[in-house]
Structure 1
C-alpha cells in the first residue's frame, strides 16, 4: 500500500500547503491529495485558497502525483472549465495529476445562488460532466446539449499527451454503480471494505482505490484531541448532513453535538506511531491501494517527520 500526504486547503495558507508538500516529498510520501473547497468547514479552520492556483504552484516544487480529493464539476464551476483546469494541471505535472470528482457539498456549491439538487440528480449531473470533460480532452471543438449542461464550440488547446485519470468518490449503491462504470479509480475517506468490494464488483475491478484519514500530532494524545476537536469536530457529523448544510456556521452548530470522545475516534491523535499504524492497517485490511494522511493543527512538520522515521 502506497502512503501519501493530504493537503487540507480548509486549514492552511497557500504558503503552508506548499511547505507541507515539499516536506512530504522529502520525507518519502508517494503522492499528494488536495481538497477543493470554497469555504472551510468552520471558521476556526479559517482558510480556503483556490485549489487550481495551489496545484499550479505545487508543480514547481514537487514531482510526486497530485489528486484532487475531491472536485465537484457540476455547479460552482462548469465542467468545461474544470476540463481546462485539469488539462493544464496534467501538463504542469507531466501527467502526474489525477482529477478526483464527487457530487459535492452545499457548503461549497450553493454560492452561485442555484438550488441544491437532490443526491440522485447530482449523480446524473456528475455522469454528464465527466462525459463532457472527456470529450474536451479528446481534442477538437465540442458542442454538447444535455439535460444539465450545454457546451458550445469549446476546445481545450493545452492538452497533456494522455487525458487525466478521473477517480470518483462514492458512498451509496447508486454512486458505487456509477463509479464502477465511469471512473478510473475510487476515492473513499473511511476504511470500509464493503464499499471497496462494492466498487470492484460494480465494474471497478482492479482499478486503484485511494483512501484518506486525519491525524492530529501533538506532544500528548490529550493535546492532540483538543486540537482536533477545536478544528475538525465536523469530522464526527453523521450521515448526509455534510452534503446539505450550507455554511461554516451551520457546521459549527452541528458540531456542538460531537463530543471530544467521538473526535478522538475519528482522528488519529497524539505522538504515538502505533496510533498511526493502527489507522494505516485498517485501510490496508480493507483493500486500499493508496492511503493519504492529513495533519490537523500546527504540528504538521512533526507528523511528517514521524512518518519519515516510522513508515516511509
Structure 2
C-alpha cells in the first residue's frame, strides 16, 4: 500500500494556518506529512516562509502523523546544528521523523553572505555533512576539516533510534551518489521516463529504503480556476536546474517567469477540477515504483481540496488499482 502524505508548503501560508491544514489533513485520511526547510518563498506572491524546525515540533505534537523535512546542511545551517535539531525531534517523537538532505538552493543560502559554490562543491559538502550528521546521531564526538569544519562536536541528547536520513535528488547521477549513505530517496515530479531513471539509478547503486515523490498539482471547482491558481502560485515551475538552484531572490524568480502563460504552468503542475483525473495520475505515478507520495496542492487555500480529496481520492489511491 502506498503511503499518501500531505506536503505542507511554508512558502504559501503563515505557520499557524499551515498547522491547521496539516491537522485537517490527518482528519481526512492522509498517512503522513512533510515540508521543506526554506528561508524564502519562490515568489513574492506566495509571501511566507516560516521556520520549519519550530513548526515541526508543533505539528508532531498536535498530530499522530509521521513527518519529514527536506533541508540543506552546510551553508545556512551547520550540519552539527541540523543534527541537533534532528536528534531532538527524534527523541521527542520516536519513529515519526525523517530528514532528507539536499545540496540546497541559493534563494535560501545566500543570506550568509558566503559565495554560492558550484555544484561539485555543493555535492561534496552534502556528502560530508551527511557523514557528520550520521556520526553525531550515532553518539560520536566529531571533528572535521573539509568543506565543513567541525570541532569536538557531540550530541548530548541522542534518540535511542536515529531518525532516517533520506537523500534528495532530481537526476539519476545524484540519486546514484546518494545511495552510498541514504536510508531512502525523495525526488520531485517530472516526466515518467525521468522518474524511472532516478529510481533505477538509486536502486542499481544499492540504494535502500523507501523512494518518495513530491507531486505538485492544482485542484479547484473549475478547470479555469485550477489553472489560474497554478499560474499565480507556481509559474516559477517553468524554471529548471541549474537556474532553479542558482537564483538568489523571489523577485528574480518572478522576473524570470513573468512571461509564462497559464498553459506553460500547466506543463509543470497537473491541473484539473476532476478528482478522478487526479486519482488516475497519482496511481500512475505510484506504479512507477514509489513507496510514498507527498501531495502538494499549489493553492494557498487548502481546506476545499482536503475535503474533496479525503472523500474522493485518498481511499482509492491508498488501495491502488
Q: TM > 0.5 between the two? A: yes
Instruction: Answer yes or no: is the 8 Å Cα contact 2:6–2:30 preserved in 1.
Output: yes
**How far 1:173 moved relative to its partner?**
4.3
Using structure 2 for the length normalisation, give the TM-score: 0.92
2:211 and 2:290 in contact (8 A); partners too:
yes
Deviation by residue 1:24-44 (Cα, 9 ceiling, x = unmatched): 111111110111100000110
**1:120-131 mapped onto 2 (5 Å cutoff):** 120-131=120-131
The aligned residue for residue 197 of structure 1 is 200
Match of 1:181 in 2: 180
SS at match of 1:10: helix
**For 1:282 and 1:121, how far apart are their aligned partners in 2?**
36
Query: Which residue in 1 is equivalent to 2:111?
Result: 111
**CA deviations over 1:222-264 (Å, ceiling 9, x no partner):** 1111111111101121332110011101100111242211212
Which residue is equivalent to 1:211? 213
Given candidates 229, 232, 237, the residue that maps to 1:230 is 232
Cα 1:209–1:173 shift into 2, 3 Å: closer
Give the deviation of 1:271 after TM superposition.
2.8
The equivalent residue for 2:167 is 168
Does the 8 A contact of 1:268 with 1:275 survive in 2? Answer: no
Match of residue 272 from structure 1: 274
The Cα offsets for residues 171-220 of structure 1, whole Å up to 9 and x where unpaired, read as: 33441222111100000112511111111111115x20000112222221
Contact 2:13–2:300, Cα closer than 8 Å, also in 1: no
What is residue 20 of structure 1 aligned with on the other side? 21
Aligned residue number for residue 138 of structure 1: 138
Matched, 1:297 2:299: yes
Asked if structure 1 preserves the Cα contact closer than 8 Å seen for 2:172 and 2:199, the reply is: no
**Cα gap change, 1:149 to 1:19, in 2 (>3 Å):** same
Measure, in 2, the Cα distance between the counterparts of 1:301 and 1:106: 32
When the two chains are superposed, the root-mean-square deviation of aligned CA atoms in Å is 1.4
Determine if the alignment matches structure 1 residue 92 to structure 2 residue 92.
yes
**CA positional deviation for 1:95:** 2.3
Asked whether 1:73 is paired with 2:73, we answer: yes
Structure 2 contact 180–207 (Cα < 8 Å) conserved: yes
Contact 2:238 2:265 (C-alpha < 8 Å) held by counterparts: yes
| Aligned residue in 2 for 1:154 | 153
Q: How many residues align?
A: 309
Using the TM superposition, name which of 234-243 and 42-51 deviates more. Answer: 234-243
Aligned equivalent of 1:258: 260
The worse-fitting range, judged by mean Cα deviation, of 11-20 and 262-271 is 262-271
Q: Is the 8 A contact 2:236 2:253 kept in 1?
A: yes
Do the aligned residues in 1 keep the contact of 2:136 with 2:142 (CA within 8 Å)?
no
**Contact between 1:217 and 1:303, CA under 8 Å: does it hold in 2?**
yes
- Gapped regions of structure 1 (runs ≥ 5): none
CA contact (8 A) 1:237 1:258 kept: no
Unaligned runs of 5+ in 2: 316-321
- Residue 97 of structure 1: how far off its partner (Å): 0.3
**Whole-angstrom CA distance in 1 between matches of 2:294 and 2:132:** 29
TM-score by length of 1: 0.95
Equivalent-residue separation in structure 2 for 1:293 and 1:143 (angstroms): 37
Deviates more, 1:245-254 or 1:187-196: 187-196
Query: Which secondary structure state, in structure 2, belongs to the residue aligned with residue 297 of structure 1?
Result: coil
